[in-house]
Amino acid sequence: MIDIRLIRTNPELVKENIKKKFQDEKLTLVDEVTELDEQLRAAATEADSLRNQRNVSSKQIGALMAQGKKEEAEEAKKLVASIGPKLEELQAKETQLQEEIRKRMLVIPNIIDESVPIGKDDSENVEVERFGEPAVPDFEVPYHVEIMERLSGLDLDSARKTSGNGFYYLMGNIARLHSAILSYARDFMIGKGFTYCVPPFMIRSNVVTGVMSFAEMENMMYKIEGEDLYLIGTSEHSMIGKYIDTTLKKEQLPQTLTSYSSCFRKEVGAHGIEERGVYRVHQFEKQEMIVICEPEESMEWFKKLYSYTVEFFRTLDVPVRTLECCSGDLADLKVKSIDVEAWSPRQKKYFEVGSCSNLGDAQARRLGIRIKGEKGNYFAHTLNNTVVAPPRMLIAFLENNLNADGSVNIPEALRMYMGGLEKIQ
């Protein structure tokens, strides 16, 4: 959510930003907020005037009574009594106007960074850099489901019986590999100075609307029937929510946390073979990182965060590239975002395995996360980034570490988590 003062002082900038995101249907929201804000400030001014008038008249009553001017005192009492209903009416109007303004402000997109490339959708995202040589072996790389099943590591049929499409059983060494990757990711981030955290896997609606847009919530979140609780779609939601209505001292910053969680999402792709198997699922595990920092430090942290993911994947012998999201592909709360994509030898192309986002003060403004400064309090900046999200990462790992005989090499970094195992076969 942007600062309403920006709409008051520079509505054309806000409109231009909306156009850059190709959301012209939201342009009218700026004018609506401007009009509602004027009504709110007028109501507030009138209410302040009435309160002042009531205070002055209330003080006069005692003085008039002391002077024996009972009739004038009674008139003053009537005036004070008549102000009450008017104030109540104005307060109700203020509340209604504030709600209408907030409803629109939550939909107006955040101001994107000047460096963000302009484009309509993900087809216009821009490659930034490649890391590692994207090799294609001289043998056929099977579909990831086949690789896992040959190693007795995946059971989709049983999962369909117990839970439906979009769920899976990981078995044996593949399940162990899944856990090893997460354990390694945990220790990798602790080594970067992050504090490890296991957060709640359910959050209340005020946290949901604080961390994401309504459109994202509708498409992603599972709601617990009969309760004000949602299953998290990613752990940064509860991690950022941890700081709701919190004022941090400058010496407490930056806050750097890395979290493990299960994640739950409605969406499951239905088009093409790459949407089957364990690429898009309803439930998965994830290691995440979040940062809460000073506004002037957020871009520096942004670069650090996605570089950690690149480094992590390279230690597992997986070539990756970074891809900058264009304006039309940015979620409304984001200032800037970079995806990390892993190389698929089978598809001979890259696919997304993580995303790093700088949200400026948008989440902090919604959730009330402030920094106590020398000249007053101000909103913090928040960032989040995926360290690793198996089982999707398993696809990249298995394809890039597969041998011609169907066995899978275990890189040095993972062996201590796999009981010293050097190969799955």
Q: Residue 305: name the closest of 286, 319, 291, 292 by CA.
A: 291
* Residue 299 vs residue 218, higher pLDDT: 299
Report the CATH number at residue 78: 1.10.287.40
Give yes or no: residues 173 and 95 share one domain.
Answer: no
Tell me the backbone φ, ψ of residue 292, rounded to 5 degrees: -120, 125
Q: What is the pLDDT of residue 148?
A: 96
CATH number at residue 321: 3.30.930.10
- For the stretch 193-224, pLDDT in tens is 999 999 999 999 999 988 887 667 777 889 99
Q: Distances from the Cα of 424 to the Cαs of 119, 177, 413, in angstroms?
A: 43, 9, 15
Q: Is residue 391 part of a domain?
A: yes
Residues 326, 116: contact at Cβ < 8 Å?
yes
Where a domain ends, among 105, 138, 171? Answer: 105
| pLDDT at residue 269, as a whole number | 52
Cβ-proximal residues to 317 (8 Å cutoff; 6+ apart), any chain: 132, 400, 401, 409, 411
Residue that the structure tokens 């986002």 belong to:
357
Instruction: Give residue 417's domain range.
Output: 122-424
Residues 83 and 145 in one domain: no
pLDDT, tens digit (0-9, with 9 covering 90-100), for 21-52? 999 999 999 999 999 999 999 999 999 888 88
Residues 161 and 74 grouped into a single domain: no
- The two tokens of residue 286 are 């994830």
Structure confidence at residue 313 (pLDDT): 96
Comparing 20 with 68, the larger pLDDT belongs to 20
Structural domain contains residue 133 = yes
Percent of the chain whose predicted confidence (pLDDT) is above 90:
79
Per-residue pLDDT, 273 = 44
Q: Is it the case that residue 88 has pLDDT exceeding 70?
A: yes
What is the total count of domains within the chain? Answer: 2
Choosing from 105, 137, 170, the residue where a domain stops is: 105
* Residue 268, token pair as written in the block: 């499951």
Residues 153, 166: Cα–Cα separation, whole Å: 16
Asked, for residue 113, whether it belongs to a domain, the answer is no
Does any domain span residue 371? Answer: yes
Residue 396 and residue 259 in one domain = yes
Under the banding of pLDDT at 50, 70 and 90, the label for residue 165 is confident
The answer to the question of residue 112 being in a domain is no
Confidence (pLDDT) at 55: 77
Q: Do 340 and 244 belong to one domain? A: yes
Residue 134 sits in the same domain as residue 252: yes
3-state secondary structure of 315: coil
User: Is residue 377 a part of any domain in this protein?
Assistant: yes
Instruction: Return the pLDDT at 270.
Output: 45
Does 66 score more than 80 pLDDT? no
What is the number of H-type helices and E-type strands within the chain? Answer: 14, 18
Q: Is 323 helix (H, G, I), strand (E, B) or coil?
A: strand
Check whether residue 100 and residue 225 sit in a common domain. no
pLDDT in the model for residue 272: 46
Per-residue pLDDT of 386-398, as tens digits, reads 999 988 899 999 9
Mean pLDDT of 57-86: 76
In a domain, 116, yes or no: no
Domain co-membership, 43 together with 135: no
Asked if pLDDT for residue 348 goes beyond 70, the answer is yes
Asked if residue 352 and residue 391 are part of one domain, the reply reads yes
Q: Average pLDDT, whole number, for the chain?
A: 92
User: What is d(CA 68, CA 151) in angstroms, rounded to the nearest whole number?
Assistant: 100
Same-domain pairing of 91 and 148: no
* Residue type (1 letter), 357: S
DSSP of 358-398: E-TTHHHHHHTEEEEETTEEEE-EEEEEEEE-TTHHHHHHH
**More confident of the two residues 87 and 318:** 318
54 confidence band (pLDDT: 50, 70, 90): confident
**Residues whose CB is less than 8 angstroms from the CB of residue 337 and which lie 6 or more positions away in sequence, other chains included:** 324, 325, 329, 330, 331, 355, 356, 357, 358
Same domain, 92 and 174: no
Last residue of one domain, picked from the residues 57, 73, 105 = 105
Instruction: Tell me if 93 is assigned to some domain.
Output: yes
Query: Do residues 97 and 32 share a domain?
Result: yes
Q: Residue 266 contacts by C-beta under 8 Å, 6 or more apart in sequence?
A: 219, 220, 221, 222, 282
Contact 174, 151 (CB under 8 A): yes
